[in-house]
Structure 1
Amino acid sequence: MTDTVQTVEQVARNSYGRLVAFLAVRSRDLAAAEDALGDAFLAALDQWPRDGVPQKPEAWLLTAARRRMIDASRRSATADAAFPALEFAALDAQREADAVRDFPDERLGLLFCCAHPAIDEAARTPLMLQTVLGLDATRIAGAFLVAPAAMSQRLVRAKTKIRDAGVPFDIPSARELPERVEAVMEAIYAAYGTAWDDAFGVDAKRRGLAEEAIWLARVLTETMPENAEAHGLLALMLFCESRRAARRSSSGAFVPLDQQDVSLWSAPMIAEAERALRTASALTAPGRFQIEAAIQSVHAQRLFGAPVRWDAVAMFYGSLVAIAPTVGAYVGMAAALGEARGPDIGLTVLNGLNDADITDYQPYWAVRGHLLAHAGRAPEAHIAYNRAIHLSDEVAVRSFLLARAASVS
């Protein structure tokens, strides 16, 4: 039974987005596709332990979900409208099983569907994270600082809107792209960020999300080769992912970027990131993701024996705050200026931020503690570090900050 459950979980992690997108594109009903696929997974948990895991688990799940959607549409009062939309309804199970290994991956089209202007802007990224990448409403709610019940209601309303408004499940025309592509990129990056938080991949629900996000970014650059920010997003994630193996020591301790063993970095991934960044730069349409990727590129030069040029990092952060003045960008600029020009300069930037923006923002307090320690202001550094420790969720990060605080005298 345990092996069967693990197989079902693995298929869910690897194929949920592909399966729900395939079903949703053909049924034009995202909620119904999710419900049918959920029923198919439950059926698998019931039947596979008894009958054995099928040779093609994806095909079995797709067939089971298809049958449930057809049955539901026949029972529905709108059967005449719904049933013809099931393009695969006429396929028998065997033909579908034979063809499923080659079924098209519709996830990018589904992302653009979720970014349709008819969908509430606040629901677009959460909707993409749930439907295409399989994150649950509770985790999404935590990321967006919203109550789980409120997030669930928001997602239900968005799916209903897609069905009732007849939102198309495909890549929009070139004229429509600008109003949607930014939301798609934000969702891809948010998915990557969720995986990045789980450095060791111990959370099964987030395992593989980084690879999924990078794959989607690659498809986006192939679909829209003239979009500079798509290339910048791909470069940014590749730079970050290249360092995954160096983020934790063998004992699980957190290793900050400037102390990482560069021999553990992925040189091929960094090379691909540099190519993507050059492609983006050649399109002469700078944006947030490109600037963030450029910052990571400066750090990546350590792989080739070069020191970090903190003046260049500070310059790029200055460009970033000019177009995306987030608290994170200002904190990054403060850290870079502190390294390039001294801690007092960095602290001046931090002191200019609004209290409401930094009260619960852990990176602010960690950077503030670091700069205060280097400025010789030990009592204030301890206060800042303690605040950062209190706001840290990860045990490894808390341990690192505790050690930093203990070293300040």
Structure 2
Amino acid sequence: MFSLGRELPGALGRTGTISTPHGEIRTPAFIPVGTRATVKAVLPEQMAELGAQALLANAYHLYLQPGADIVDEAGGLGAFMNWPGPTFTDSGGFQVLSLGAGFQKTLSMASKGVEADDVIAEGKNRLATVDDDGVTFKSHLDGSKHRFTPEVSMQIQHQLGADIMFAFDELTTLMNTYGYQVESLARTQDWARRCVDEHRRLSATRADKPAQALFGVVQGAQHEDLRRQAARGLVPLGFDGYGIGGAIEKDNLGTIVRWVCEELEPHKPRHLLGISEPDDLFTAVENGCDTFDCVSPSRVARSSRVYAMTGRYNLLVAASRRDFGPIDPACDCYTCAHYSKAYLHHLFKTKEYVAATLCTIHNERFTVRLVDDMRAHLEAGTFADFRDDFLARFYG
């Protein structure tokens, strides 16, 4: 499934190729997120034009709407959304457990330094409860009750039909005690084994469908012993690749990724879940990760925030009102070729829907191209110079 290319001298970074039934992914690569089988505000055809090699959708959301059985009847995720290339689905664990704790996208940062076994955001009601067999949760849409187990997650993801899917895991927060992290890690290890067993059973019974790869997920928060233990525990189970998940403080990202990648098999791909900021991408690449996903480029675009070589800024600032230049003169996207900051400022001020489309095209292209450039510089042996030059301009 994965062929290794050039390795970064003195570091874990490398290039490679992931082969899937729907095409190859040259790595490192950024995988844009189409949560509900769509990247919000952008057509799949546009995602292909801006260079996306694969898209990731969410099992939790597609299970609730329209239902995994409907996606299966449509011919799988790619056919359903008119995307011919490779696809990923996450297991649904992040949404089930983050919504259950009420933190959504800020799982780890809300109460730094606070430790507790039962973590819940202030003013929120618990929507999910975990036991050794699985998770019982209430839908965030209508409050209906549901249950995910490792077997159910595999059944849903097989129906969704993505080329790459992830094992069901328990997502903890940085506020959980060390004792709870130990307990959770044992549970996630058992769930990983059950996912492998169910994946093999379903692959045999659905042998007429395109083959699907299963990635195990490494948890362990910010504890070196737990991260290394988690990685070592997954290797004998025979996963096709690995996801690195869980709550990680930004300053510790490179260290934790390195711990994990030092323990994993070098001939299998590694996916870091949920990052897209430029400094994080550079850090993850040089410490051994191959692919990444995050909703942030499209999410911030919908609120008028865009990326340029000189940093991220908000188009709604007064300076954009009479600025007839592009978002970024160095960008080759459709938006920068045809539309000015003044026009985009006007669209956001008048709440026109096309503003989100045009800025999402730009942000996704910016992020995809950045990781593509990292790959090119890894191949050329100039990664360190490229990293230093880019980060100096972007954060300078």
TM-score, length basis structure 2 = 0.30
Higher relative contact order (CA 8 A, sep 6+): 2
TM-score, length basis structure 1 = 0.30
Structure richer in strand, relative to its length? 2
Give the number of the structure whose alpha-carbon radius of gyration is greater.
1
Structure richer in helix, relative to its length? 1
